[in-house]
Structure 1
Amino acid sequence: MNRGPEFQEFMQRYFSSFMAAYFLSTYALAATFWLVWHTYCKACTRETLFPVSLFTLVFMLVTAHAAVVRGRDWGAWLVALFCVGSIIIVLPTYSYRPHLFIYSSALLTGLSTLLVLNSRKYREMCVQLFEYRQKRKADRVAVAKRPKVIRQRR
């Protein structure tokens, strides 16, 4: 997509909802990760499992958001799955008496992310990004079908 007026209009309309979903889901994942490692996994070894699990979760979440940007509909579903999983994992940690702010903010940001993902604006953005993806695909096919001109060197 070039940086013409169409791009500026798209960014003005949808950038805020995309960034809200991105940062809310990132915080929900971080708070859930903290709660899991300070409640369920207190006795776990942290030398290898901690960084590997953190890297894997962050990589999957960033990949899901990148898929949304590239016009793939499964990206939004994966982000929603992360948020639902975050809520399901966080709820039972209440019996361990976690820090109340982190507990409540993990639940709140997970639910808020689901609310943003279900908003009309975010769904419009996903449809628009899918249409841009289809245009890019059609452009690649058109370029591939064009006859190639071979230039001779002098």
Structure 2
Amino acid sequence: MIRHPELKGFLQRYFGVFIGAYFSSIIAVAWTFALVWSTYCRQCSKDGLFPWSLSITLAVFMLGHGAVVRGRAWGAWLVAGLCVASMVITLTTYGHRPNLFIFTSSLVAGLVTLLLLNSRRYREMRVRLVEYREHRRQGRR
């Protein structure tokens, strides 16, 4: 397998911030999902709506991070929107007396994700990925 010579340097510089944003957004979205289903939808039938809502949430989540990796700038906005939505939804569950550890951790994970998405290194990584995408597109022509 032939590797691009820049790949090792790229991964050393940007992999930590990408994986940090990825895992903190997973925590924020997953715990928000758990809070919603344990508070608002406690009496709901979990046969039909639960798998569909989980599938749609995961599809949007994977679409956002996959778009970032493929060099699409709108992917970061999708991840940021998902994190803001999860924080707003988490805040609305406070009246139902949720588990405070999961409640607080979901909010903190959403804030950490937004902080990492706005960091200089993550923005540099997105610019480099867009450049790689343009380079691949030029190579196909």
> Considering only CA atoms, is the larger Rg found in Structure 1 or Structure 2?
1
Counterpart residue number, 2:117: 117
Shift of 1:55: 1.2
Counterpart residue number, 1:11: 11
Q: Secondary structure at the match of 2:6?
A: helix
Letter in 2 for 1:95: G
Measure, in 2, the Cα distance between the counterparts of 1:40 and 1:4.
Answer: 50
Counterpart residue number, 1:30: 30
Measure, in 1, the Cα distance between the counterparts of 2:11 and 2:3.
Answer: 10
Counterpart residue number, 2:98: 98
Measure, in 1, the Cα distance between the counterparts of 2:22 and 2:108.
Answer: 15
Shift of 1:92: 1.5
Counterpart residue number, 1:80: 80
Shift of 1:5: 2.6
Counterpart residue number, 1:140: 140
Measure, in 1, the Cα distance between the counterparts of 2:140 and 2:5.
Answer: 23
Measure, in 2, the Cα distance between the counterparts of 1:36 and 1:4.
Answer: 44
Measure, in 1, the Cα distance between the counterparts of 2:4 and 2:77.
Answer: 30
Measure, in 2, the Cα distance between the counterparts of 1:117 and 1:3.
Answer: 27
Shift of 1:4: 3.0
Number of equivalences: 140
Letter in 2 for 1:25: S
What is the percent sequence identity of the aligned residues? 55
Higher relative contact order, structure no. (Cα contacts within 8 Å, ≥ 6 residues apart): 2
Counterpart residue number, 2:45: 45
Measure, in 2, the Cα distance between the counterparts of 1:5 and 1:132.
Answer: 13
- Structure 1: where are the runs of 5+ without partners? 142-154
